[in-house]
Amino acid sequence: MANFAKLSKLKVALFKKGTEKEANPNRVESSNNMMTVLLKELADQLSSTRFFILFSLIALTGIVSFYSAATNIRAATEDAVSQFILIRLFTTSGSSLPSFTWFLSILGPLVGLSMGFDAINAEQNSGTMTRLLAQPIYRDDVINGKFLARLFVLILITLALGFFVAGMGIIITGVPPTGEEVMRLLLYLALSIVYMGFWLALAMLFSLMFRHTATSALCSMSLWLFFSIFVPILAGMVADAIFPVTQSSDAMAQLYNIRLSQAISRLSPATLYSEAAVTILSPSVRTLGPVLLEQTYGAISGFLPLGQSLLLIWPHITGLVAGTILIFGITYTLFLRQEIRA
């Protein structure tokens, strides 16, 4: 009955859009229909029990991570000379509690997967999708509206969590943030949104490929575990097999081993995100690769400006954005060509 009620609301909205178009023929029908689907999906997501559970979990994560950083704020500022205190709250961990970045690197993909694993097949199984596509609405409006609505929810959750930790940090420390700190924090939150959007697009792809929601959820979780856990392990195994390192190995053999291991590990979006997040939130990071002793001669210690930090992680950001667009593009194409049956 709930599905029929939602479909009836969508019919009324589409009818209103149609009458408005007759009154003003210059309006674009496709954009209106997509906005209708987006608002309908957004209302369903924000009023669902799933959103309440995810938001509660994220809020608990924010409280725990802030407590971990606040209890170690002295250690976080000893070597910073009162610089970058705000963003160090996100990377400081306690004796038994991990940092905010660790929490978000684990929970972010889970939130994205939970938002998208049943985005399409759940409506197919209930018959809502067939009735929806029978309305005067394009398929691309449906898939675009579904993705954008869920992405908006991810943006809402991420910004709420990030601003909560930042706001409480400013209140506790009493130190106003600098402009560069604010920019680094916003870039980190934007990077986290892109990272979660990658897993959202992947989950929606599996939701389109598999009929049952349990199968799409299992495949999504399996791929996340593969990229997060097994790819770094396989990277080390392959590097040791091609460039074995023993006690008698020279420095170049060790260097080739590390570089190959890093190159393979960066095939994982989890590695790209973790390296980019650390570089943005830690201005003291000056390189992401191995450093030879000769390279440290004459080096001046200090913090990298924001522009230099972005140069280090530009390939990481490009890879995450390109991967998200590619996966959603595949989902978009398959949805337009797939035969939807009741």
Nearest partner of 218 among 331, 113, 107, judged by Cα: 113
Percent of the chain exceeding pLDDT 90 equals 36
Instruction: State yes or no: pLDDT of 161 exceeds 90.
Output: no
Q: Residues 230-250: pLDDT tens digits? A: 999 999 899 988 888 877 777
* CA gap 279, 304 in Å, rounded: 10
- Looking at residue 37, what is its pLDDT? 87
In a domain, 60, yes or no: yes
Domain that holds residue 58: 28-288+304-337
What's the number of domains the chain is made of? Answer: 1
Does pLDDT of 41 surpass 80? yes
Q: DSSP assignment of 132-188, as one string? A: HHTSS--HHHHHHHHHHHHHHHHHHHHHHHHHHHHHHHHHHH--PPPHHHHHHHHHH
The string of pLDDT tens digits covering residues 79-127 is 444 577 788 888 877 666 777 888 888 889 999 999 999 999 888 888 8
296: in domain: no
Residue 108 forms part of a structural domain: yes
Whether the pLDDT of residue 26 is over 60: the answer is no
Give the rounded percent of residues in the chain with a pLDDT score beyond 70.
81
The tokens for 172 are 């506790």
Task: Return mean pLDDT, the chain.
Answer: 82
pLDDT of residue 31: 65
C-alpha distance from residue 335 to each of 112, 207, 338, 339 (Å): 20, 10, 5, 8
Q: What per-residue confidence (pLDDT) applies to 342? A: 57
CB 261, CB 239: distance < 8 Å: yes
The pLDDT, as a whole number, for residue 24 is 46
Specify if 248 maps to a domain: yes
Is residue 321 in some structural domain?
Answer: yes
The whole-angstrom separation of Cα 131 and Cα 80 is 60
Residue 150 lies in a domain: yes
| pLDDT greater than 50 at residue 252 | yes
**253-281: average pLDDT:** 90
Q: Is residue 332 part of a domain?
A: yes
Task: Please check whether residue 111 lies inside any domain of the structure.
Answer: yes
Q: Quick one: which of 197, 260, 258, 202 has its CA closest to 227?
A: 202
The band of 225, judged by pLDDT with boundaries at 50, 70 and 90, is: very high
Residue with more model confidence, 217 or 296: 217
Average pLDDT of the segment spanning 202-217: 93
